[in-house]
A and B are shown apart, each in its own frame.
Chain A
Amino acid sequence: AQRVTQPEKLLSVFKGAPVELKCNYSYSGSPELFWYVQYSRQRLQLLLRHISRESIKGFTADLNKGETSFHLKKPFAQEEDSAMYYCALSGRQGAQKLVFGQGTRLTINP
């Protein structure tokens, strides 16, 4: 079965501090992993995907198949990073369905 777990419902850090949002997954094959973000009063949108290996808004995420993790990191948090973050998994490349984690609400304190 496909499962995504985000162990932290809430995460609060100070501006300028490093941020790490945890994501663990369960899947027997080769997954495709994503981070989606929802800013206040905005729609849910894709932040980044592991295949692209890119940094978006200073965020990076590395797929660790040994630990089945896909943690989202940013070295220096900014106030505009405050949002709801969801980790998501697709069972194979190009598959239609996504399985989402429970979400982590990130708050950046000034």
Chain B
Amino acid sequence: DVKVTQSSRYLVKRTGEKVFLECVQDMDHENMFWYRQDPGLGLRLIYFSYDVKMKEKGDIPEGYSVSREKKERFSLILESASTNQTSMYLCASRLQGSSYNEQFFGPGTRLTVL
């Protein structure tokens, strides 16, 4: 079974803080993704990485950056947290070239910015 883990289930930060969200997968997947999940808006793609040290902006990258130094780990960074970044953050991974094209999700990190 693919296992995607996220470093925290709940996180509370203050406006202006630098925030790191970590995601680790154990199935040697090339592709990794960061989404935010908001009621009424569904899942929106922030950034994705199709391999180590490679990244591409998603639909809402403003205010975020990412790091992929190792294949199994994909970090989301909020350079200066703001209240409108309060949300549920989901990480996912996918096997490159998979005909099944399934993304495997982590449990999520609920971030509150005060």
Chain A 38-76, CB-CB to B under 8 Å as 1, else 0, gives 000001111001000000000000000000000000000
Say yes or no for B61: interface residue by CB 8 A criterion. no
B residues within 8 A CB of A97?
A: 33, 45, 48, 58
Chain B 38-79, CB-CB to A under 8 Å as 1, else 0, gives 001111110010100000001000000000000000000000
Say yes or no for A93: interface residue by CB 8 A criterion. yes
Are B103 and A98 in contact, CB atoms less than 8 angstroms apart? Answer: yes
Q: Contacts A43-B106, A43-B108: A102 and B41 contacting too (C-beta < 8 A)?
A: yes
A residues within 8 A CB of B105?
A: 43-45
Say yes or no for A20: interface residue by CB 8 A criterion. no
A98 to chain B, nearest CB (A): 6
Are B101 and A32 in contact, CB atoms less than 8 angstroms apart? Answer: yes
Q: How many residues of B contact A (CB 8 A)?
A: 28
Are A100 and B43 in contact, CB atoms less than 8 angstroms apart? Answer: yes
Chain A 76-108, CB-CB to B under 8 Å as 1, else 0, gives 000000000010101001111111111100000
A residues within 8 A CB of B94?
A: 96
Are A44 and B42 in contact, CB atoms less than 8 angstroms apart? Answer: no
CA distance A102 to B44 in the complex (A): 9
B residues within 8 A CB of A102?
A: 40-42
Give the residue name and chain of the B residue nearest to A88 (CB): B43
B29 to chain A, nearest CB (A): 11
B residues within 8 A CB of A43?
A: 4, 105-108
Chain A to chain B contacts (Cβ below 8 Å), 11 pairs: A45-B105, A49-B101, A86-B42, A93-B101, A94-B98, A94-B101, A96-B94, A97-B58, A98-B45, A100-B35, A100-B42
Closest A-B pairs by Cβ, 5 of them: A100-B43, A102-B42, A44-B105, A100-B42, A43-B105
